[in-house]
Amino acid sequence: DMFVKGIALNPNQRIDEKQAKEIARMYGYRVRFEQEQLEDKETSVGESKLEKIEKYFEQLYITKKNELVTRPPVVTVMGHVDHGKTTLLDKIRKTRIAEQEVGGITQSIGAYQVEYAGKKITFIDTPGHELFTEMRAKGVQVTDIVVLVVAADDGVMPQTIEAYNHAKAANVPVIVAINKIDKPNANVEATKQQLVTKLNLIPEDWGGDTIVVPISARTGQGIDQLLEMILLLAEIKEIKCYPKGPARAAIIESKVDRALGPVANAIVKDGILNVGDYIVAGPVYCKVRALIDDKGRRIKSAEPSQPVMIVGFEELPDIRYTIYAVESLELAQEIAQEVKEKLEKEKPSKRKISLEELLKIMEESEKKELNIVLKADTVGSLNAVQNAVLSLKSSVQEIKVNVVHAGVGTINTGDVMLASASDGMVIGFRVKVDSQARKVAESEGVEIRTYEIIYDLIDNLKRALEGMLQPEY
């Protein structure tokens, strides 16, 4: 374990895949290891069937550039607990969806779509950053825009900062909704001031470029402006899709429905998803038996950014896989089988590359950053550790140490997901790691280090950085 030892490796020394990944991670890289051709007789062409499909969709964005069209933005609402996320989502849904549209008892399908000024917006209706970061960590960024809710009577709080850090790490643009302006003790100006001092977000009317909209999720005041701003930002960001052909869709949740069996709630990214399509999601495949929209209606097809419940699976699809529609049931089955076999084969690899090769790749990079999620037992110790970590910047040149998030308390899944999303690691000071977080860290390949003594923490970190910069010859 290089980090703990802070050892300097010889540049010609062979290191294993795990070590290579660790080093790459510290430099903000992900290393992908090519399958050795000999090992893989089945796909002698070198490309699996799934990879071909993935490539098809990537290619669309290049070769069919002129045929791309704008699609509705997909929005996630985040913010501190009790600042009004749920109330806002409920209010938007109620006021923007006409009563007669709603067919009977509507159950949530994880997201809903509203119309404003003739344009559609999709809202993920689970507020919070867990799902957001889980989606991002698994490689599919479903969210186009984050609405960061900040209560005007409470201001910027720890989870506001955490939520913002998640959005920032995922490179998703943020609109701030200052909520509860109907309350007598609401202070919009003070809240804006805190956006500046605590988040470094400067509101537009203060000369910055952060869109800030004062709202009341309770009375509905300001919500039209918020929707308008979402559409404006979507236009600026040119959120596009390829609207024709077979669909790909991102799963936002999957569950077993008592009447319908295993279902996936998904948002279509490109193409059109139809009833009767053959789809595959990782090791699971099926023929689409039914599609149900956010108003509980059975529909024949779903278009980009449309949330939809997909019925027909025999097994529960995992949220980490993208759904692809393919031309036949046989092909869907073959791809699922291919993924299954790959999963079974996925044992720790013994393939190695030299550190020299790795350093060379990293040298070509402009940015050398070590992203850290920092957790400590108290606010006082957190400040102390954070200052010490940041002061490393000057002593270890060339590498920028970034504290992506700093918080008090046990290291949890959210911390690990954030570290994974930013290709970083988690450092804990006098805190424990919860068991779920440990499992996720294992599967995401995220390094967690905990320390009891601040000197050890800093010394280890410093030696690791220096060791990697100046390999001994």
Instruction: List contacts with ligand GDP (CB under 6 A).
Output: 79, 81-87, 127, 179-180, 182-183, 216-218
Q: Are 156 and 194 in contact (CB under 8 A)?
A: yes
For 344, list phi and psi in degrees, rounded to 5. Answer: -70, -35
CB of 96 to ligand GDP, least distance (A): 17
**Between residues 221 and 349, which has the closer beta carbon with respect to ligand GDP?**
221
CB of 341 to ligand GDP, least distance (A): 43
Helix (H, G, I), strand (E, B) or coil at 378: coil
179 annotated binding-site participant? yes
CB of 227 to ligand GDP, least distance (A): 16
Look-up of token digits 């052909």: 245
CB of 185 to ligand GDP, least distance (A): 10
**Between residues 86 and 333, which has the closer beta carbon with respect to ligand GDP?**
86
Look-up of token digits 């002129």: 66
**Between residues 86 and 410, which has the closer beta carbon with respect to ligand GDP?**
86
The CA-atom distances, in angstroms, between 391 and each of 170, 380, 400, 458, 462 are: 25, 17, 10, 10, 11
**Between residues 151 and 325, which has the closer beta carbon with respect to ligand GDP?**
151
Exposed e or buried b for every residue in 198-219, given b needs 16+ CB within 10 A? Answer: bbebebeeeeeebbbbbbbbee
CB of 183 to ligand GDP, least distance (A): 5
Q: Are 385 and 375 in contact (CB under 8 A)?
A: no
**Between residues 19 and 412, which has the closer beta carbon with respect to ligand GDP?**
412
**Between residues 182 and 318, which has the closer beta carbon with respect to ligand GDP?**
182
82 annotated binding-site participant? yes
Helix (H, G, I), strand (E, B) or coil at 354: strand
Q: Are 264 and 292 in contact (CB under 8 A)?
A: no
CB of 267 to ligand GDP, least distance (A): 21
81 annotated binding-site participant? yes
CB of 128 to ligand GDP, least distance (A): 8
405 annotated binding-site participant? no
128 annotated binding-site participant? yes
85 annotated binding-site participant? yes
Give dist(CA 188, CA 178) in Å, integer.
Answer: 7
Half-sphere exposure of 105 (CA within 13 A, CB side): 1
**Between residues 78 and 382, which has the closer beta carbon with respect to ligand GDP?**
78
For 278, list phi and psi in degrees, rounded to 5. Answer: -95, 125
Give dist(CA 372, CA 389) in Å, integer.
Answer: 9
133 annotated binding-site participant? no
74 annotated binding-site participant? no
Residues placed in the known binding site for GTP? 79-86, 125-129, 179-182
Q: Known binding site: residues?
A: 79-86, 125-129, 179-182
